[in-house]
Amino acid sequence: MNLQRRKFLRQAQKGGVGLSVLGSTASWMALLNGPAHAGNQAEEQLSDSVRTALSQAVLQSGPPVPVLVTHQDKQDFNAWITATSHRLRQWMPHPDDRQEFLHTLWYEARRAGLSLSLVLGLIEVESAFRKYAISSAGARGYMQVMPFWTRSIGDGNESVLFHTQTQLRFVCVILRHMMARENGNLFLALGRYNGSRGQAPYPQAVLAAQKKWLQSVD
């Protein structure tokens, strides 16, 4: 983890990172332009039943097509896409990239029962929305998934972690599992995801980043 990111996490621990800091594009980008920092995730021993359940959740096929049943659902989705795409431009300048990414994120977050803003905040902290980010420990992609997860609940093919839908599905499934392990305690689940369970800086950084992505549809 570089010095700028350490400074950010110290500020978050003190409660000093909020909308005033996150609202400054220059400051926020400066903090996240360094190398991806994940890699402290610990490989957990999974029971056979949990491993099977997670594997099935990861391997279930299905295109990232949002399920929009009512007219209100469609309005909410379109409003979210428009607002979020606008905010995402600083990281993803190409509209087609944003469209694919956001459609997939909506689908996978909803599928896992996770907050859209939480997933966006996690990605911002982990990789600053860099699809091909690799940390010094070998964690990969937007959400810095450690390759051991592909062996634990996948088919062992690490290259899939650079595929947008596969990576988002892995992380949403893993984070949902960790929240279940922590009885719904998001603070502890985020710490477990990062390999720093019980320590404040990482969860506070993610929760601070989450605030700027919050919308009513969340």
Model confidence band, residue 56 (pLDDT cutoffs 50, 70, 90): low
Question: Is-above-0.85 flag for pTM?
Answer: no
Tell me how far CA of residue 38 lies from CA of 102, 158, 194, in angstroms: 22, 16, 7
Check if the beta carbon of residue 207 is closer than 8 Å to that of residue 22.
no
Query: Does residue 150 form part of some domain?
Result: yes
Report residue 156 as tokens. 């062992």
Q: What are phi and psi of 131, to 5 degrees?
A: -60, -35
Q: Is residue 216 part of a domain?
A: no
Number of structural domains found in the chain: 1
SS3 214: coil
Does some domain include residue 104? Answer: yes
Tell me the CA distances in angstroms from 16 to 2, 35, 59, 140, one per residue in order.
Answer: 19, 23, 40, 29
The answer to whether residue 218 sits within a structural domain is: no
Taking the C-alpha atoms of residue 44 and residue 148, their distance in angstroms, rounded to an integer, is 10
What pLDDT is stored for residue 26 in this prediction?
A: 35
The answer as to whether 164 is a domain residue is: yes
Domain with 82, as residue range(s), is: 3-211
pLDDT tens for 105-129 read 998 899 889 999 999 999 999 999 9
Rounded Cα distance between 212 and 174, Å, is: 24
pLDDT at 202: 94
Q: What is the pLDDT of residues 146-171, one digit of tens each?
A: 877 677 666 767 777 788 888 888 88
pLDDT band at 59 (very low <50, low <70, confident <90, very high): low
Check residue 15 and give its pLDDT: 42
85-104: pLDDT as tens digits: 999 999 999 999 999 999 99
Sign, CA dihedral 179-155-168-72, equals negative
Q: Specify if 103 maps to a domain.
A: yes
> Which contacts of 149-154 are long-range, i.e. CB under 8 A and separated by 24 or more positions?
149/174, 152/43, 152/46, 152/51, 152/54, 153/46, 153/51, 153/54, 153/55, 153/58, 154/55, 154/58, 154/59
Task: Give the domain CATH number at 148.
Answer: 1.10.530
